[in-house]
Amino acid sequence: MQADSYNGLSATSRTMNRYGRLDMLELLLTAGADPNARDKQGRTPLHHAACFNARPELTRALVLAGAQLDCLDDSGLTPLETFCSNPRSDFDAFAAAVMQAAKERALFLYDLHSTDLPKPLHRAAACGQPGVLRALLSQGSSPDVASRQKGATPLILAAQLGHETCVRELLAASADSSAADRAGNTAAYYAAQAGDWHCLRRLLSAGASADQACEGGRTALHVAAAGGHEACLVALLEAGADINAPCQAGLTACLLAALAGQEHCVWTLLMSGAAPTASFPGAAADEGTELLEAAEEAQALIQDAAERLGLLQPAAQAAAAGGGNAALAAMPAAPAAPAGAALDDALRGELCCPITHEVMTDPVIAADGTTYERQAIETWIAR
């Protein structure tokens, strides 16, 4: 979704025109599309909105999603300056949409953090302003100062709100990626919870722990699984996350994914070495409750996936072979893969660059429709 096309335009930028569909843009943004993704000329979707006279509601949606108003393209122009240079533009409509959305976003951030942003550094991180962050950090501001009430560092705020460029600036200033707020949650935890693959990969690459226990003993892997964020799961597993580690309630990532009905995550975890167990701590003691019903549905989901993957012998065959012994029905057909095992070859094939044969961190789609690692394909073309 974030990968650029051959001419450098992201899917978000392609919706920014007078015929663009608001529902399509909102779908992309909700799924995690970067509202500040740049093309080969350094232009963001907001620049394209200015160039192609996009409808005001599209511009508003971008700004509400965190589009930066002061970012410069390669020619040194902001989106507003680009709009002023467009002779077909309706400046009043564009300016009104931007100002209204900026006001709504400011109110949202104020409600979210109230007076818990004591330093300009916190406010810059929360509002997604990497240029302001860079200037403050260059003047000696500490990247690890905690907010008053919630104890959030600027890095935690940036990761929680999906500002990858701010995360990058803070990590470059040696921000502590293991710092936790007063709830016990880290930047990686919040990135995984939000399904922000880009922020999470950047944090893990900077040394953030994939197994740090946070609120309720849950790790980033637990919240990614429960939220159905498969790309984050893969990133965490590649970083060595303990796939069978339980939270304080005794639930593993696979069990949490099954309880939440995230079937695709259950499959990914089982293929990656998760133990195909369907034991839910405390469920039997609550017989007749909604918890027991949810546990039974989750057990069926894991059982079905494990059987299809050949990790468990089908219940009917096991019952026949064991003379109806129910205990044998859950016996594994083969030993489960060890925790942290490599991803299944088929899954890795989808995530690896055809040139480097490594999991891609900066994927791009070439003109032939194949996805490559950006640096690898650029090097190959330059030969």
pLDDT tens, residue by residue, 145-200: 888 788 899 999 999 888 889 999 999 999 999 999 999 999 999 999 988 888 99
How many angstroms separate the Cα of 253 from the Cα of each of 159, 262, 272?
A: 21, 11, 12
Find the CATH number of the domain harbouring 18. 1.25.40.20
Q: 315 pLDDT band (50/70/90 cuts)?
A: low
Whether residue 237 lies inside any domain: the answer is no
172 CB-near residues (< 8 Å, 6+ apart): none
Q: Would you say residue 111 has pLDDT above 70? A: no
Number of domains comprising the chain: 4
State whether 99 and 124 are in the same domain. no
State whether 319 and 374 are in the same domain. no
247 CB-near residues (< 8 Å, 6+ apart): 213, 216, 217, 218, 219, 222, 256
State whether 69 and 123 are in the same domain. no
State whether 49 and 121 are in the same domain. no
- Quote the pTM value: 0.59
Q: Which domain holds residue 165?
A: 114-209
Q: Whole-angstrom Cα distance, residue 317 to residue 329?
A: 8
Q: What is the pLDDT of residue 37?
A: 77
Whether residue 226 lies inside any domain: the answer is no
State whether 258 and 342 are in the same domain. yes
Q: What is the pLDDT of residue 46?
A: 79
Whether residue 235 lies inside any domain: the answer is no
Q: 330 pLDDT band (50/70/90 cuts)?
A: very low
Question: 247 is written with which tokens?
Answer: 């939270």
How many angstroms separate the Cα of 116 from the Cα of each of 107, 133, 148, 171, 290?
A: 14, 18, 5, 22, 38
| CA diameter of the chain | 82
Whether residue 69 lies inside any domain: the answer is yes
Q: Whole-angstrom Cα distance, residue 71 to residue 89?
A: 20
State whether 365 and 323 are in the same domain. no
Q: Whole-angstrom Cα distance, residue 11 to residue 365?
A: 12
Are 121 and 145 contacting, i.e. CB atoms less than 8 angstroms apart?
yes
Predicted confidence (pLDDT) per residue in 213-256, tens digit: 999 999 999 999 998 888 899 999 999 999 999 999 888 999 99
Whether residue 102 lies inside any domain: the answer is yes
Whether residue 16 lies inside any domain: the answer is yes
